[in-house]
Chain A
Amino acid sequence: MTTPQDVETNDALTTVHGSEIDEAVELVAEDIAVTTGTKNAKISNAKLAIWLFLASDFLFFGGFISAYLLYRGRSLEIADAALAEGVEPGKILSDVLDIPFTSATSFILLMSSLTMVLALAAIKRNDMRRTQLWLIATALFGTIFLGGQIFEFTEFVREGFTLTTNLSGTTFFVLTGLHGAHVTVGIFWLMSLMGLSMSGKLTSKDSEKVEIAGLYWHFVDVIWIVIFTLIYLIPVN
């Protein structure tokens, strides 16, 4: 039979150990839930933040891609009307595109995603030499892509397709320029990681820093996959 003294003792024990027991039960329940897939694992704030940023940036690019798709046909109609009136029409994108060149730079950007993911795999293995190697390779590929874009822009302008030629030109340069700005930020980000790594401030414990930079870099790559197909490969009908 339970005496009032026993109840008192139990209450005291619960007060002392209750919070620890609750915590342990909570942890076990969470592990079971994560393992069985009924609950998401705890997520770091930094990773959550970069995903939120990427989601908003996705919509941002979506708006610019839509604007280009809307205006490229209209620019063609204006060019046709100018021709009908005997006026020299402004150049349109398909007049100046160099698909083999852009394909090569697109391929380089695609391969930079591979070197980026290899850098992450290397830092997780605590292989800092390979981490640095792959980070440099990624930054180098990004720089080549950017150089290619600058060359392409220069050629387009030289041939008469500029930001102010028509709405197609405006939306094209703004969209691809914006993407180039993202690549530039990515290169600086990678170089700062390289700097940290060379000064010994980046170890396998900081692999999340490389993972977050990687998520941004891959995002820049997936956006280019969409831009390359919609703007370069699907010609105006």
Chain B
Amino acid sequence: MQETNTLTEHSQEHAHRSPAQYVVIAVVLSALTGLEIFLYYVESSINRTLLVFMLLFLAGIKFFLVAAYFMHLKDDPKLFRRWFIIGGVGALIVFTITLVSLNIQDQRFF
């Protein structure tokens, strides 16, 4: 199970962030969550499409921060990152095609 190269494992460990950096990332995540909730409460004063895009954008940033730093995708071997991006983008394309073909635009999303 433990088929790791000692040298590369050692360098990977050093590449991971420090606890203080993780706390900073958590603070940013908290602030973004606060902003999302704020947007929810002022939704009536914002254009609907703009609101949806802003909420999706904020969720995207939060997703990226957790995946890149907490899941170490930014520091771990590139193979994981490639899989994650190919899988994520692939899934997004497949589900977007499915939703559009099943008329998601009629489902009061935007």
Binding site for B on A (CB under 8 A): 30-31, 34-35, 37, 40-47, 51, 55, 58-59, 62-63, 65-66, 69-74, 76, 99, 103, 106-107, 110-111, 113-114, 116-118, 120-121, 124, 208, 211, 214-215, 218-219, 221-222, 225-226, 228-230, 233-237
Contacts and interface: CB of A to CB of B under 8 A. Distances in A.
Contact of B108 (A37, A51, A66, A237): A237
Contacts of B39: 233
Nearest to B92: A62
A58 B8 CA distance: 28
A226 B78 contact: no
Interface residues of B, number: 62
Given A58-B91, A69-B109, A70-B102, A110 B29 contact: yes
A225 B107 contact: no
Nearest to B13: A124
A128 to B, nearest CB: 16
Given A110-B33, A121-B16, A234 B5 contact: no
A99 B79 CA distance: 38
Given A113-B66, A225-B66, A69 B99 contact: yes
A72 B49 CA distance: 18
Interface of B: 1-5, 7-9, 11-13, 16-19, 22-23, 25-26, 29-30, 33, 36-37, 39-40, 43, 48, 51-52, 55-56, 58-59, 62-63, 66-67, 69-72, 77-80, 83-84, 87-88, 91, 94-95, 98-99, 102, 104, 106-110
B33 A106 contact: yes
Nearest to B18: A121
A55 B87 contact: yes
Contacts of A58: 87-88, 91
B16 A124 contact: yes
